A and B are shown apart, each in its own frame.
Chain A
Amino acid sequence: MVNSMVQTPKGKEGDTLAPKTLEAALASLAQEGAIPYAGGTDLMVAEDERRPFLFLHNIAELQGFSEDDEYYRLGAGLTYTRIMNDKRMPALLVEAASQIAAPAIRNAGTIGGNIANASPKADSALVLVATDSLVRLVSAAGERVIPIGQFLVGRQKTTRRPDELLVEILMPKRWLADYRFTKVGGRKALAISRVSFAGLFAAESGVIQHLALAFGAVEDTIVRRPQIDGLLIGKSVEEARALSEEWLAAWDAAITPLRGRVSARYRKQVCLNLAAAFLKSRLESTD
């Protein structure tokens, strides 16, 4: 249903540039050097109509969802609306997806497009970074699965080769039970994030098993520093409290925000506020 709503400004069904199979898409990608076009919600506003686009909305292989013991496996062509409406989806991802843009854009925009556009403000990408998700890239020559941190390397920069397609996202299931997602926009809908935050926490018998923070919209890429959060992993609540200032100071030193619609100072302060409040609330609930 949702797919039928996708706009196709160039190329139509049956067109070589609107293939129905992944195989055909990869073949034309290898030859034509086209720009993969999923929901088009970023590409449409780029106002560059001269580039050849490879429309992906007809490819069933990109729409799948499955899970195994270790991973949720999301087709890169899943729209935010599909993610929000599928009860099997992880709650953290649903929460982020539901705060993206507005219904019309969520009907068209895809999780794969959100990542591949490589904006540091991408809300679903933030969740994938915080959860240490993997991405599966496929080309006519073969495929590779890499951590998302190795895929997103800069503003509008990924390590995707021109002949590759982002096909699937593998989201680890292990640490998803206790999370917080906060998006700071200029308003409640149709808002580009000014700061975004995702945090995961797990403790057992008073000992921290997992802590993972990620910050969006502050630097050229989404910020995730496992070594900083690692300061507290394996520590008791007491120990973590004692170390929390050091941990926060490390985050303070690690984040170098850019100024944009809001100042760098504001971005830094919100990041630290959200980090400190998240840890504090989790330590309290672990007590």
Chain B
Amino acid sequence: MHKISTSVIKKDHAAKMGGSAYYVGDYPSKGVLHSSFIRSPHAHARIRKVHYPALPPGYFSVDYRDITGENSVHVVLDDLPVFAQEEVFYIGDAIGMIVGPDAETTAELAAACEVSYEELPAILDINDAETAFFDYHYGRGDTERAFSEADHVFEEDFETGYQEQAYLEPQGMIAQVENDVLTVRGSLQCPYYVHRATAKATGLPTERIRIVQEVTGGGFGGKEAYPSLLAAQLGVAALKAKGQAVRCIFGRREDMEFTSKRHPSRCHYRVAVKEGRVTAMEIDVRFNSGAFTTLSPVVLQRGIIASPGVYNVENLQVRGRALRTHTVPNGAYRGFGAPQTFFAVELMMDHIAASLGQDPLEFKRANLAKQGDATSTSGRYHFPVPLPEMIERVLAASDYANKRAAYAAPQDSLYRKGIGLSLWFHGAGFTGAGERDLIKAVVALEKNAAGQVEILTANTDMGQGVKTTFSKIVAHELGIPYEDIIIHNPDTSRVPDSGPTAASRSLMVVGELLRRAAIRLKEEWCEGQPQRIEEHYTHPDYLVPFNLETFSGDAYPTFAWGVGVVELGFDTLTGANEVLGSWSCFDIGTLADEAIAVGQMEGGVLQGLGYSSMEQMAIDGRGRIRNNSYSDYLIPTSVDVPQLEVQMHVCEYPGGPYGAKGAGELPLVGIPAAFIAAAEQALGVRGINHIPLTAEETLDYLSGSQHGKDKESVR
């Protein structure tokens, strides 16, 4: 184990365990203005008239007419308005806000607003969608020929549902104009995303906007883009509030119903096999974008790049669409498009193997990509593909082969078992040339006269531990105590733009910049003198340039790898399942901190298990999300996974600090396929091609009424 991997006490440990950590909701709520949203109850409607009730002194309304900049939230394409103007496009679309000194009163006044609507046809299901916000195509080789020469051709459809990030702390912000500067404090992942969105909506020059991240109680992607909308709305309100602070802390129901979730998906796979090898894949991926584009293009890009899985597929045609529906805009959630396509491709490979009478693992092994092979986008696997060694470790830990054989025998007892395995990667960092062309990360180190060193980056700690790992890196290079490293929550008036906290990039990209900055600071160290060192991103020179038009080149500088086994038991009387065990092996390169890394892996696996089983979110016939509370949207408790084992395989990445690479998203990505593979074995069926798998459907599978056919279910 590398020296850096030895765990330390996390920088935020004492504050969080002692209860002194200060979240945005902890700011005094007296003496500030509260806000309540006026939201559309219709999935799609024209706004005829908005009639505000008489507002008591000290209360005011905010809507599109108050926007001093553009009525557009900067994300990627900027089509999401700050406030609806003529039309609403999903239930919850914000028409305006009521702001004032008492929270109950603002809520009552918002509820008393009379908005007259002309209802318009709403598209709720991607099968009915007419508009593809994005329609990407890419491929390589000659699929037509490969299919014509194939021994076998297989075709299947797959479906995945919503997943809610379920962070502990809901979305929340406070905005206030102080000394001519608009300050927005909040629970957020990406301070500079919020900064740019606030500038665009308010029209203020960037130097008059300050974004401060407060202690953030979980994000998982849910606080990557949504805070840009909330900050734009609150920023506009704060300008109207003339110096008073305006506060908005979501309740759980508002948060679950109206903020972004994982894109529901439908995938169609057609696969050619010749002499036991996959020779071609034709893949059609459809994501439910929701009402606006927000992060959908980048989520879709990652999803389709991952769609052929970890296999070397010489002939490939991929189409990916993000379709418009009149539902809440979907966004980032750990894995970012990849869990959907890995679910499809891994089950597809299982089913092909079964049809050929082969063991799924043997079939997968025979088709694995290896170092030097082309990636789906005709880049290269520049570094070793460690899956074969990782598979061996997981097989040993889980006793997979014996269990798989035992459960394959006919099961006729009231309790049935199954075990499944899946293989996956996660492209580390931003897709394509985003780091070089868009982000251009900058970090700084500031040393004070006492020799303490402060880390200045825009990256946020939302529980994943970057404050700790960044500090360890800098302390290690400087040879000074970890305790002498200072790191605060980012404040855009102090930190350079080191890019968003997303895409499993923080440690690999920003951590490496900090390592280099620390090396320079050490070389230039002047005892007793304040010093500042800046470091700028440089693009790895070995990369095949990525072209987003043609989806060609290296989409990622390297990959993190995962192997997962899930063992399930089913009660045949009730259809209920339980996870009997979960064994995984992950390669995230060198561990920047062992306890943090293992904790991240365990948490991600558990989210993957929840996504597969109990995390069911559906919309009703009017487009309303019905599960907007934790009584109705269940996530796993600690009791739900009695045995969850992760192993770490270290395959060093030369571009990351001490060989570290992207970690955060990896563990979730491939778990659903292993889960359903286990379910299929236990229930003795093939073709459970969707998640989540409910107890209700399980009973149907057991009684044979769903055998082998696709089910219309979640959107």
Contact = CB atoms under 8 A, between A and B. Distances in A.
B640 interface: yes
Contacts of B639: 187-189
B640 A188 contact: yes
Interface in B554-600: 572-576, 578
Contacts of A102: 637
A175 B578 CA distance: 31
24 contacts: A184-B695, A187-B614, A187-B636, A187-B637, A187-B639, A187-B640, A188-B637, A188-B640, A189-B637, A189-B638, A189-B639, A189-B640, A190-B637, A191-B634, A261-B632, A266-B696, A270-B575, A270-B699, A273-B572, A273-B574, A273-B699, A274-B573, A274-B574, A277-B573
Nearest to A102: B637
A192 B576 CA distance: 14
Contact of B634 (A186, A274, A277): A186
Q: Is the interface of A mostly helix, strand, loop or mixed?
A: loop
Contacts of B632: 261
User: 6 closest A-B pairs (Cβ-Cβ)?
Assistant: A189-B639, A273-B573, A188-B639, A266-B696, A186-B634, A189-B637
Contacts of A21: none
Contacts of B699: 266, 269-270, 273
Contacts of A262: 694-696
Interface of B: 414, 572-576, 578, 614, 631-632, 634, 636-640, 694-696, 699
Contacts of B636: 187
A98 B534 CA distance: 58
A273 B571 CA distance: 11
B575 to A, nearest CB: 7
A117 interface: no
Given A262-B696, A266-B695, A270-B699, A187 B634 contact: yes
A14 B631 CA distance: 35
Contacts of A195: 574
Contact of B578 (A188, A261, A269): A188
Nearest to B616: A186
Contacts, number: 49
A270 B637 contact: no
B205 to A, nearest CB: 44
B631 A192 contact: yes
Contacts of A186: 614, 634
A109 to B, nearest CB: 15
Given A187-B614, A195-B574, A263 B637 contact: no
A182 interface: yes
Which of A186, A194, A261 has the most C-beta atoms of chain B within 10 angstroms of its own C-beta? Answer: A186
A266 B694 CA distance: 11
A269 B573 CA distance: 9
Given A187-B639, A191-B634, A270-B575, 14 more contacts: A102-B637, A182-B573, A188-B637, A189-B637, A189-B638, A195-B574, A262-B695, A262-B696, A266-B575, A270-B573, A270-B574, A274-B573, A274-B574, A277-B414
Interface in A183-205: 184, 186-192, 194-195
Which of B574, B614, B632, B696 has the most C-beta atoms of chain A within 10 angstroms of its own C-beta? Answer: B574
Contacts of A182: 573-574
A195 B695 CA distance: 12
Which of B414, B632, B634 has the most C-beta atoms of chain A within 10 angstroms of its own C-beta? Answer: B634
A262 B636 CA distance: 18
B637 A184 contact: no
Nearest to A281: B414
Interface string A153-195: 0000000000000000000000000000010101111111011
Interface residues of A, number: 21
Contacts of A189: 637-640
B557 to A, nearest CB: 39
A285 B575 CA distance: 25
Which of B573, B639, B699 has the most C-beta atoms of chain A within 10 angstroms of its own C-beta? Answer: B573
Interface in A261-283: 261-263, 266, 269-270, 273-274, 277
Interface in A236-287: 261-263, 266, 269-270, 273-274, 277
Interface string A63-107: 000000000000000000000000000000000000000100000
A190 B637 CA distance: 8
Nearest to B635: A187
B696 A263 contact: yes
A237 to B, nearest CB: 20
Contacts of A263: 696
A285 to B, nearest CB: 15
Nearest to A272: B573
A187 B637 CA distance: 8
A158 to B, nearest CB: 23
A5 B494 CA distance: 45
A126 to B, nearest CB: 15
A102 B572 CA distance: 25
A261 B638 CA distance: 22
Nearest to B641: A188
Contact of A184 (B574, B631, B634): B574
A189 B699 CA distance: 22
Contacts of B576: 184
A261 to B, nearest CB: 7
Nearest to A45: B631
Contacts of A273: 572-574, 699
Contacts of B573: 182, 270, 273-274, 277
Nearest to B627: A261
Contacts of B614: 186-187
Contacts of A190: 637
B464 to A, nearest CB: 25
A186 B629 CA distance: 14
Nearest to A265: B696
A49 to B, nearest CB: 12
Contacts of B695: 184, 194, 262, 266
Contacts of A194: 695
A98 to B, nearest CB: 11
A188 B414 CA distance: 19
A188 B637 CA distance: 8
Contacts of B696: 262-263, 266
A37 B56 CA distance: 37
A184 B576 CA distance: 7
Nearest to B574: A184
Nearest to B636: A187
B699 to A, nearest CB: 6
Contacts of B631: 192
A55 B202 CA distance: 52
Contacts of B575: 266, 270
Nearest to B630: A190
B606 to A, nearest CB: 12
A251 to B, nearest CB: 14
B16 to A, nearest CB: 19
A12 B359 CA distance: 67
Contacts of A191: 634
A188 B572 CA distance: 16
Contacts of A184: 574, 576, 695
A4 B573 CA distance: 41
A186 B573 CA distance: 15
Nearest to B610: A187
Nearest to B572: A273
Contacts of B414: 277
A191 B576 CA distance: 13
A270 B414 CA distance: 13
A113 B373 CA distance: 65
A190 B633 CA distance: 12
B478 to A, nearest CB: 45
Which of B572, B578, B636, B637 has the most C-beta atoms of chain A within 10 angstroms of its own C-beta? Answer: B637
Contacts of B572: 273
A263 B636 CA distance: 22
A12 B499 CA distance: 52
A191 B696 CA distance: 16
A17 B636 CA distance: 39
A262 B614 CA distance: 12
